[in-house]
């Protein structure tokens, strides 16, 4: 891509996520939207018509009766995205999968399958499961601690990437005239033995159209930021102010550079929930009405989620925020610690903390289409983000963005007018990862050719080698697997 343009994602959350207690009452939203594949297909097609880069499916695997409506009953991400894939042609398909309660081989295979089904549009949002209760659904008495969770995540992703390199691009000539279906020298086992996983490989699926699915990551803890800087190509985050967004993007790009990565290949794409009306005043009134409609009781219950679904209803609302010990240590620890710090430093009661959390859900993007476009441009050009993930529920509200805000951004050259690629990686401006075995083989060939050329120059008193001799032959010395330069088992984990 010649010019930097705004990346666009649509987070499809059906009947409403955290704080959206009454969203499902909209006449535009079917009561079963979160499990109706037709709703997702329609929203994906709506986003594709607006030239969005991707749709984004969030997920978790533990719920309580107090979980947000969308969380209570929703489709498994990759099953859903495979269905959406055959009804779309360009838009990326990003699904959330936890590394804490999945095996790398299965995840690599499922994502590579989605990449093939979609023609190169798959993305993986890597999470480690913040809901500690998930452990009980996977035969564990207790959730992994942070060190283990993020250690597993790093190793898990590196294994998946190694498995995606199991086959080189030309592994399957499928030459019927010669009767050659498969070139066994282009298949490579992984033979990984690490701290958390042992995986032999190879993956039983050829290299996908975009080389490897795009790696997204979500996690704001210190461990999460380290993981994102190491493995992510795009990071899903949140920010309430441009200054917060600038600081996060600057920090993450610096962390990536410190790990030897090109910081330009790490995109920061926060989630936003714009509120659009004909005028700024009407938009602010709509926001107030939305905030006022949110149930205090539900907000009190949802406050418990980062604390491992701690029950805050047992406390006096007007007493100081309660001491909850290490609740949240194995859940959303960073968020829980932030809430406790806020209450402690400002001497807040439990009621005030809940009210603060409700106010904290205010969108920085509220106003007329022109105001929204101006603010997005300010954040984008100010280095706050590389793109945005819009929370999508009510179709007409999404249409106000695509039909009224996007044209302004396109006119200013900030948003593109057409897709530039048929793959997610291509549209995001991300490089296709080089297959490690192809790189090793070509490096070996180059080194061999250089050595042979040097020997030819010294041999026979400087006479050139005869045509067709090993020094000049066009034959591929690496066609036999025994001639390949071996890649250490630990290479995918470096």
Omega before residue 408 within 30° of 0, cis: no
Q: 304-313: long-range contacts at Cβ-Cβ below 8 A with a sequence spacing of 24 or more?
A: 304/66, 305/18, 305/67, 305/131, 305/331, 305/332, 306/130, 306/331, 306/332, 306/333, 306/335, 306/336, 306/339, 307/331, 307/336, 308/131, 308/132, 308/133, 309/64, 309/66, 309/131, 309/133, 312/350
pLDDT (0 to 100) of residue 456? 55
Measured from the Cβ of residue 175, the count of other Cβ atoms closer than 10 Å reads 10
Pick the closest to residue 312 from 342, 341, 356, 354 (CA basis): 354
How many angstroms from the chain centroid is the CA of residue 398? 21
Distance CA 187, CA 204 (A): 10
Pick the closest to residue 266 from 249, 244, 282 (CA basis): 249
Residue 163 — φ and ψ, nearest 5°?
Answer: -65, -35
Half-sphere exposure of 96 (CA within 13 A, CB side): 21
pLDDT (0 to 100) of residue 292? 74
3-state secondary structure of 476: coil
pLDDT (0 to 100) of residue 491? 33
Distance CA 2, CA 4 (A): 7
pLDDT (0 to 100) of residue 20? 84
Regions of the chain with pLDDT less than 70 = 1-2, 452-494
Q: How many residues appear in the chain?
A: 494
Burial 428-443 (b: 16+ CB within 10 A, else e): bbbeebebbbbebbee
> Helix count (H) and strand count (E) of the chain?
16, 13
pLDDT (0 to 100) of residue 296? 87
pLDDT (0 to 100) of residue 202? 98
User: Rounded to whole angstroms, what are the CA distances from 118 to 115, 261, 301, 426?
Assistant: 5, 28, 39, 14
Distance CA 4, CA 264 (A): 11
Residue labelled with tokens 């603010």: 375
């Amino acid at each position: 891509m010649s010019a930097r343009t705004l990346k666009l994602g649509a987070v499809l959350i059906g009947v409403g996520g955290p704080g959206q207690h009454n969203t499902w009452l909209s006449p535009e939203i079917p009561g079963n939207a979160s499990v109706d594949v037709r709703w997702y297909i329609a929203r994906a097609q709506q986003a594709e018509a607006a030239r969005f880069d991707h749709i984004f499916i969030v997920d978790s695997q533990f719920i309580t009766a107090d979980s947000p409506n969308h969380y209570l009953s929703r489709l498994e991400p990759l099953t859903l995205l495979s269905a959406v894939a055959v009804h779309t042609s360009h838009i990326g398909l990003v699904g959330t999968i936890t590394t804490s309660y999945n095996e790398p081989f299965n995840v690599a295979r499922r994502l590579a399958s989605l990449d093939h089904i979609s023609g190169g549009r798959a993305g993986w949002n890597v999470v480690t499961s913040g809901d500690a209760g998930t452990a009980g659904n996977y035969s564990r008495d207790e959730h992994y601690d942070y060190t283990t969770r993020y250690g597993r995540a790093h190793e898990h992703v590196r294994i998946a990437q190694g498995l995606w390199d199991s086959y080189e691009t030309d592994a399957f000539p499928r030459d019927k005239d010669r009767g050659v279906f498969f070139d066994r020298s282009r298949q490579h086992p992984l033979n990984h033995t690490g701290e958390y996983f042992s995986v032999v490989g190879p993956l039983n699926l050829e290299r996908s159209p975009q080389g490897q699915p795009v790696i997204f990551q979500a996690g704001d803890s210190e461990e999460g930021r380290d993981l994102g800087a190491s493995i992510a190509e795009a990071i899903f985050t949140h920010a309430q102010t441009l200054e917060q967004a600038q600081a996060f993007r600057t920090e993450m790009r610096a962390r990536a550079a410190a790990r030897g990565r090109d910081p330009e290949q790490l995109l920061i794409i926060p989630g936003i929930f714009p509120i659009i009306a004909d005028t700024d005043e009407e938009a602010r009134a709509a926001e107030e009405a939305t905030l006022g409609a949110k149930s205090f009781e539900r907000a009190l219950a949802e406050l418990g989620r980062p604390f491992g679904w701690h029950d805050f209803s047992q406390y006096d609302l007007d007493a100081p925020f309660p001491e909850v010990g290490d609740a949240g240590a194995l859940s959303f620890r960073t968020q829980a610690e932030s809430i406790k710090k806020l209450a402690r430093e400002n001497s807040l009661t439990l009621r005030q903390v809940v009210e603060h959390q409700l106010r904290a859900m205010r969108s920085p993007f509220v106003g007329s289409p022109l105001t929204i476009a101006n603010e997005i441009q300010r954040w984008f050009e100010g280095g706050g983000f590389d793109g945005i993930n819009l929370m999508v529920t009510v179709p007409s509200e999404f249409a106000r963005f695509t039909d009224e805000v996007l044209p302004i951004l396109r006119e200013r050259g900030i948003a593109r007018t057409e897709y530039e690629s048929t793959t997610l990686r291509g549209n995001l401006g991300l490089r296709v990862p080089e297959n490690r075995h192809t790189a090793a083989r070509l490096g070996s060939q180059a080194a061999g050719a250089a050595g042979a050329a040097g020997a030819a120059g010294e041999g026979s008193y400087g006479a050139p080698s005869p045509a067709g001799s090993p020094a000049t032959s066009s034959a591929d010395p690496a066609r036999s697997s025994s001639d390949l330069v071996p890649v250490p088992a630990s290479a995918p984990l470096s």
